[in-house]
Amino acid sequence: MPTFSSDEIARLASLARIDLTPDELTRFAVELEVIAHAVERVSELATDDVPATSHPIPLTNVWRLDVPGAVVDRDEVLAQAPAAEDGRFAVPQILGEE
C-alpha cells in the first residue's frame, strides 16, 4: 500500500521544474495515492490464464509515404522571425541554466 508524502511530491515537482504551493503539494499527494491504489487493484485482478495484450484491437500503420517536397528558404523564414542569430531562431532562455 503506497503512501506519498508532500516531500516526495515536492521533489518530483522540482525535477519537473514545476513550482507548487503547499496546498497543491498536499492535494497532489492525496490524488497520487488514489491513482496508486487504483493501479494496485488492477494488479490484483491480473491472472496467469489471461494473456497479456497491449491493444484490444489490431493496429495498422496509417502513416503516409515519406516523399520529399518543396523546401522553404531558410533566409526567408528567418526574415519573418522576431529574432534570429547565426542562421537560427533566437528564443529567450527559460530554464536558468548556462
Does residue 20 fall inside a structural domain?
yes
* pLDDT at position 4: 86
Does residue 25 fall inside a structural domain?
yes
* pLDDT at position 57: 85
Give the number of domains in the chain.
1
For the chain, which residues score pLDDT lower than 70?
1-2, 46, 97-98
Does residue 37 fall inside a structural domain?
yes
Straight-line distance from the first to the last Cα atom of the chain, in angstroms, rounded to the nearest whole number: 41
Say how far apart CA 13 and CA 76 lie, in whole Å.
40
Say how far apart CA 94 and CA 83 lie, in whole Å.
16
* pLDDT at position 51: 75
Does residue 40 fall inside a structural domain?
yes
Q: Which triple of cell numbers denotes residue 14?
A: 522540482
- Does this model's pTM top 0.85? My answer is no
* pLDDT at position 24: 94
Does residue 90 fall inside a structural domain?
no
Which residues constitute the domain of residue 11?
Answer: 6-45
Instruction: List the CATH number of the domain containing 25.
Output: 1.10.20
* pLDDT at position 3: 83
